[in-house]
Amino acid sequence: MTILKKQFFRTLLLLLWGGVTLIVMAIILHKEKISLNLWSLFFFWSIPISFIQEFLYRGFLIYKLKKIFSSSILIILINASLFAFMHIIYEPLALILLLTFVPGLFLSWLSLKFPNLWLLSLSHGILNFFAIWYAFF
């Protein structure tokens, strides 16, 4: 299996896990879907914001962390932690930290294993879309 196929398969697993998790959490918390133009939400908010975050956290920060630390696990934990703490402005805080830290772990790991910012940004954008649609952010 080629590297791109492996990355696509693992990214797809992240999307499935993340999407199902967000929908289940929305049902448990009785979250209402917001009523916006979903295409606009996806293409003009979720994707651009996700690309910027992926560039900063997985493109730039992981590159810098690799110069400081030799441990991939430490790099992933630091990167995911900083990514999660960027979201502390949202409530409920504990849930938001969990919902951003765990995907941050997977995105950081994928970035180290298969550095493809386009695919990471697209998957991040899809997860953001569901998170915004169900009013987590």
User: What is the span of the domain harbouring residue 53?
Assistant: 40-137
Q: Is residue 94 part of a domain?
A: yes
Q: Is residue 33 part of a domain?
A: no
Q: Is residue 13 part of a domain?
A: no
Would you tell me how many other CB atoms lie within 10 Å of the CB of residue 37? 9
Copy the structure tokens of residue 53.
């975050």
> Is the Cβ–Cβ distance between 129 and 46 less than 8 Å?
yes
- pTM of the predicted protein model: 0.83
User: How confident is the prediction along the chain (137 residues), in pLDDT tens digits per residue?
Assistant: 576 677 777 787 777 888 888 888 888 888 888 777 777 878 888 889 999 999 999 999 999 999 999 999 999 999 999 999 999 998 889 989 998 999 999 999 989 988 888 888 988 998 888 888 888 87
For 137, residues 6+ apart whose C-beta sits below 8 A from its C-beta are: 87, 90, 96, 128, 131
Instruction: Give the burial string for 42-80 (b: 16+ CB within 10 Å, else e).
Output: beebbbebbbebbeebbbebbeebeeeeeeeeebbbbbb
Q: Is residue 130 part of a domain?
A: yes
- Give the number of domains in the chain: 1
Q: Is residue 121 part of a domain?
A: yes
Q: Is residue 26 part of a domain?
A: no
Q: Is residue 65 part of a domain?
A: yes
pLDDT value, residue 1: 59
